[in-house]
Structure 1
Amino acid sequence: MPLETQGEKLKNDPILRRRLIDIANRPYDGPEVLGAEPRPPEWNTFYVMDRIPRPHRSVAAIATERGVTPAEAMIEVALEHDLKVFFRQPFANENQDDALELMKHPCSNVTFSDSGAHVSQIMDSSLQTHLLSHWVREEGAFTLEEAVRMITYDTATSWGFHDRGLLREGMIADITIFDPDSIEPRMPEVVNDLPSGAKRLKQYAQGMLATIVAGEVVLKENQHTGALPGQLLRGPLFFR
């Protein structure tokens, strides 16, 4: 059903709206939720993500301010944005002090991700730009040099790719050029470009100037150049 139609129904059908609110307010009696699958809302940590920088306002706080239930507040906020607004509910590492402690642990590998296993729910490709913008530039928790090493050398060597991760003669020339003063993730967007027309999240970065793979420029200011020098890499633990 198109978003416009959904919005009209939510605005003009009070019975449907009441039914959705009642369902959201029911106690959860389903299976234990462990991963990225849909979960019952925890309204105090269920946030309106209308911009990248934190803090984001919780739906619980908005509901208290408006004198309605959290489910009603969520519907109201969604309608105010024509249903084009993100809500986020973290399931790990929301406490930033705990997250920083983990990141600083010498056994942690901070900035790698599958970046696509749950394409309609999770956007992990902003981990690196978030590290550079938030933890380096805004918080000063890491130096720029420390963060670059975490993104490059530490990750490459952890996965057994010893010909990558350093700018050194004889190494594979995989290079990213960025502006440290403006680097940050942009807001994600929803696109329907999978083969079946299904949706996925897509996110670009601000301040990302070029990506070079094996010496060839493949991305320039977020635009693909048409070059395809990459290849599938398999680490030493790969089993046929």
Structure 2
Amino acid sequence: MKFLSLLIPAALASALTALPLPAAEPEYDLVIRNGRIVDGTGNPWFHGDLAITGDKIAALGTVPEGKAKRTIDAKGLVVAPGFIDIHSHSDDLLLEDGHAQSKVRQGVTTEVLGEGRSAAPAKGQLPARKLTARGKDLTWTTLGGYFDTVDRAGVSVNVASYVGMDNVWECVMGKSHARPTPKQLDEMKALLDEAMKDGSFGMSTLLMMPPGSLATTDELVELCKVVKKHGGIFSSHIRSEGLDVFASVKQVIEVGERAGVPVDIIHLKIADEKLWGKMKDVIELIDAARKRGVNVQANVYPYTRGNNNLSSIIPPWAHEGGLTKFLERLKDPKDRVRLKKDISEGVPGWYNHYTAVGGDWSRMLVSGRGAYEGLTMDRVIAAKTKGQPPAPDPLDVLFDVLIEQGGSVPTVFAHHDEKDMNLAMQQPWCSIGSDGAAYATEGALKRGNPHPRNFGTFPRVLGLYVRDRGVLKLEDAVRKMTSLNAAKIGLADRGTLRAGAFADVTVFDPDTVIDKSTYTAPFAYNDGIEFVIVNGQVVLDRGKHTDAMPGRALRKVNPK
């Protein structure tokens, strides 16, 4: 070194010393600092930082200063895993507009699709799916094809899906109510197997209405054996949420026990005023099954009104043969006599929405597009019968409205009880799902009069049931929205904040977070959701959508 210093003139040596060293490359893409970390496990919160590199969480705890391309100061805010909506109906809306506005603004980073129906399969007697969206004609026949379509289109949230049993059934049976032959059941199992290989997380059912209501317990068990082979789950809207709720819960428990698959009961409720207050008995059924080793769980949405259709008031036999036959029966005077009797008195094994609300038309709010949007059915009936002495039977008005509207009138039914819902929500095995879809407050996706759960489910839990009423603790509420849902479907590397997990993160203000959507004015985003990050990219920035679409179709990895 002394030899070198002799060769370099003093002035030059001084200049070299003064040259700035190259700046070190930032170690992280994003660091969220000073937040209250609620990691999704149910553990107590702690103050700390979270660092993201690429699409993964790189560090959690204390992160040195000056090592990030961007820093977010989360002082006073909660930093949580992105919410996983275990029960969503956004299949087509995500293709129409991938921004998923009403979900992202709730803090949702992953949507789990499928109930009775799913985006696929659509083959055989069920026509291929076709949709014009974002200026393109889209078509697919398999669940794998749907996932590929989602990835090509671009979405702001991750997308997972069950395979709907209705799809599988109708691909083989069409609109017939005939019993499937052994060969036809094998065809259904082959379709189900294909969907599971495509990445479905399980089979979902709507057992309340055809074709789901046509399936016997034995047939459900046979189908779920295919699901078990692929390590999937059985997610079920049970056969009846009303007077037969206990038998219906027992049925899906039996299916899970015999097939050896986990069960998740979709939006657990008691939806008939005659049984309000009996949720503790339903819980005892589930707890007893769990004690003997059956993995049965449930989810709820934080509202006491459910969304269905006026067509659900019509008994199952009238739906056989599809829409054309359905409308013919509504018009036939002889069939109307039978329909009125069945609606008024009930049919064994059928969940009757009309009697569930005590025959009270004021507890039915039309939510779909059309002439009656936003009106309760008592107002519709009054308007339709004005100046017609003697007043027609309200059930005749129901039939006429369904005929006029092409057989479908989406409707919100006020049919379950707050105390029952709260009790279900508090159970350790009960998670949160919206049963909603990704609408928007402007543009093409502002349509109809949708249920407020489409906009407000997750902030409502955090604001009303955690902060204001203390029904849940913050850490447990977040667990029910994140890791519990991830664990149910076997979604790896999401649902908790930890190094190495995918960087799906929601940052919210626990003091202001609340839903704003109502039954009569549903198109309103929430307060308090500040940042939403999906696969490491900021999608919601200080409450504003960034137009980023980093979401992915998530395919279940099948066991070897």
Tell me which interval the TM-score lies in, with the shorter structure as reference length: 0.5 to 0.7
Report the Cα distance in structure 1 between the residues aligned to 2:529 and 2:554, rounded to whole angstroms: 24
* Structure 1 counterpart of 2:508, one-letter code: F
Gaps in structure 2 of 5+ consecutive residues: 1-338, 366-375, 384-410, 440-446
Which residues of 2 match residues 26-175 of structure 1 at below 5 A? 29=340, 42-43=360-361, 45=363, 89-91=413-415, 94-109=416-431, 111-116=432-437, 120=448, 121-125=450-454, 126-175=456-505
Report the Cα distance in structure 2 between the residues aligned to 1:128 and 1:70, rounded to whole angstroms: 32
Change (3 A) 1:137 1:35: farther
Change (3 A) 1:223 1:143: same
Report the Cα distance in structure 1 between the residues aligned to 2:352 and 2:550, rounded to whole angstroms: 35
Higher relative contact order (CA 8 A, sep 6+): 2
The residue number in structure 2 matching 1:210 is 531
Which has the higher mean CA deviation after the structures are superposed, 140-149 or 202-211? 202-211
CA offsets per residue over residues 94-144 of structure 1, 9 Å max, x none? 3111111111223322x1234229974434332211111111111101111
Report the Cα distance in structure 2 between the residues aligned to 1:117 and 1:42, rounded to whole angstroms: 30
Candidates 513, 517, 520, aligned match of 1:183: 513
CA offsets per residue over residues 26-64 of structure 1, 9 Å max, x none? xx938689599xx997256468xxxxxxxxxxx8xxx9x
Change (3 A) 1:190 1:139: closer
TM superposition shift of 1:152:
1.1
Report the Cα distance in structure 2 between the residues aligned to 1:124 and 1:117, rounded to whole angstroms: 10
Structure with the greater alpha carbon radius of gyration = 2
Change (3 A) 1:96 1:170: same
Residues 1:229 and 2:550 are matched in the alignment: yes
May I ask how many residue pairs the two structures share in their alignment? 170
CA offsets per residue over residues 158-214 of structure 1, 9 Å max, x none? 1211201111000011111111111111125999xxxxxxxxx64411111111111
Q: Is the 8 A contact 1:211 1:219 kept in 2?
A: yes
* Structure 1 counterpart of 2:451, one-letter code: I
Report the Cα distance in structure 2 between the residues aligned to 1:151 and 1:35, rounded to whole angstroms: 31
SS in 2 for 1:177: strand
Change (3 A) 1:183 1:151: same
* Structure 2 counterpart of 1:204, one-letter code: Y
- Structure (1 or 2) with the greater strand fraction: 2
Q: Please give the TM-score of this superposition, normalised by the length of structure 1.
A: 0.56
SS in 1 for 2:430: coil
Report the Cα distance in structure 1 between the residues aligned to 2:554 and 2:476, rounded to whole angstroms: 25
C-alpha RMSD of the superposition: 4.3
Percent identity for Structure 1 against Structure 2:
29
Q: Please give the TM-score of this superposition, normalised by the length of structure 2.
A: 0.26
Report the Cα distance in structure 1 between the residues aligned to 2:502 and 2:488, rounded to whole angstroms: 16
* Structure 1 counterpart of 2:360, one-letter code: E
SS in 2 for 1:145: helix
The residue number in structure 1 matching 2:270 is none
